[in-house]
Amino acid sequence: MEEFRLKDDHIKLGQVLKALNLVSSGSEAKMVIQDGQVCVNGQVDTARGRKLFPGDEITFDGKTVRIAK
């Protein structure tokens, strides 16, 4: 499992997908999130602005990433 280290207290779901190069743009992030292709902590999450904190896990396109401080 890959880790993504936070620079601040949290990061938004769409931003982390872009930062990890899992999507190429914010609009693509919006589409995959709204289409229900992204899971946060094992649950489908359709809120692009969802704040992620250390310990949260996202899964997209067969890849799981843990948010770390």
Q: What local confidence, expressed as pLDDT, does residue 48 receive?
A: 80
Per-residue model confidence as pLDDT tens digits over 7-63: 999 999 999 999 999 999 999 999 999 999 999 999 999 988 899 999 999 999 999
Q: Where residue 22 sits, what CATH number does that domain have?
A: 3.10.290.10
Whether residue 66 contacts residue 1, with contact meaning beta carbons closer than 8 Å, is answered with yes
Q: What local confidence, expressed as pLDDT, does residue 1 receive?
A: 85
Residue-range definition of the domain harbouring residue 49:
2-68
Whether residue 2 contacts residue 66, with contact meaning beta carbons closer than 8 Å, is answered with yes
Q: What's the domain count of the chain?
A: 1
Per-residue model confidence as pLDDT tens digits over 11-23: 999 999 999 999 9
**From CA 14, how far away is CA 45, in angstroms rounded?**
11
